[in-house]
Amino acid sequence: MKPVILTDIEGTTSSISFVKDVLFPYARRALPGFVRARGNEPEVRHWLDQVAMENGGMCQDAMVVETLQGWIDQDRKHTALKALQGMVWDAGYRSGDFTAPVYPDAVEALRRWDEAGHVLAVYSSGSVPAQRLLFGNSDAGDLLPLFDAFFDTAVGHKREADSYRGIARSLGREPGEVLFLSDVVEELDAARDAGMRTVLVDRREDYPQPRTGAATNGHVRVERFTDIDPAAP
Ligand SMILES: CSCCC(=O)C(=O)COP(=O)(O)O
Ligand SMILES: [Mg+2]
């Protein structure tokens, strides 16, 4: 059976600057209005209450919004923040405020692997709805049909081996039948600990200082998807 290809998004299929300079500032700006307009909807209130509880039971939405904006500035990968960001970005994509850049080499390779019969899946800290929005509104068109499965931090955090074991189980595969692509060595370490094969995607646009030698921690390193051979041992 052909290996499953499991990919990260930020720094891997898409640029870090799109996430940091477009998506995060958009969410930061839109959050206060979003919470005022939709804060009483159960799926929004659920996450706002979770943030409030984790911060000593703060009661005003304005304080929750400030906390969330602080987390955006710190790039916290908190599940509540990621869920709310996904809902805010939905409006941005719908209104055509932005489309999502996906690196052309990633689009080319993903299309080729899909045609060759590989199962393609995504694992990102961004919520599954946010992942679907990004690939559904890419600047290369709707890439959603290429993917068979999406995973976010509901399966666990990306630096924990158990998350990757859970993903392999959900896919009905042994971890050794999954190839994980990411720009973050610690994520690759966790996937390798779980038994997955790994590739470090080390893009010059995102990482001007190449990570070579010991910095790769033994992971296969490429600068673009078109250099990845899923069949290589
Ligand atoms: C999925 S869209 C926004 C990306 C995001 O919020 C994020 O935290 C990306 O993290 P990744 O795990 O893809 O590096
Ligand atoms: Mg990443």
pLDDT tens track for 120-163: 999 999 999 999 999 999 999 999 999 999 999 999 999 999 99
4-14+100-227 CATH fold: Rossmann fold (3.40.50)
Q: What is the pTM of this model?
A: 0.94
Residue whose CA is closest, atom 4 of ligand 1?
Answer: 126
Burial of 111 from C-beta contacts in 10 A (0-12 / 13-18 / 19+): middle
User: How much is the pLDDT for 55?
Assistant: 86
What span, in angstroms and rounded, lies between the C-alpha atoms of 153 and 188? 15
User: How much is the pLDDT for 203?
Assistant: 98
User: How much is the pLDDT for 151?
Assistant: 98
Which CA distances in Å does 122 have to 6, 125, 149, 193?
5, 10, 6, 19
User: How much is the pLDDT for 58?
Assistant: 74
Residue 174 structure tokens: 């042994």
Residue 8 structure tokens: 């990260």
Residue 212 sits at the vertex; the CA angle it makes with 206 and 216, to the nearest 5 degrees, is 85
ipTM: 0.96
User: How much is the pLDDT for 233?
Assistant: 74
Residue whose CA is closest, atom 3 of ligand 1?
Answer: 126
Domain with CATH 3.40.50.1000 in the chain: 4-14+100-227
Residue 210 structure tokens: 């190449």
Asked whether 201 and 222 are in contact (CB, 8 A), the reply is yes
SS3 content of the chain, % helix, strand, coil (to 5): 55, 10, 35
| Mean per-residue pLDDT over the chain, rounded | 96
Helix (H, G, I), strand (E, B) or coil at 53: helix
19-94 CATH fold: 1.10.720
Q: What are the residues whose beta carbon lies below 5 Å from ligand 2 (ion)?
A: 8, 10-11, 183
User: Which residues of the chain are under the pLDDT cut of 70?
Assistant: none
Find the 42 Cα to ligand 2 centroid distance in Å.
30
Domain with CATH 1.10.720 in the chain: 19-94
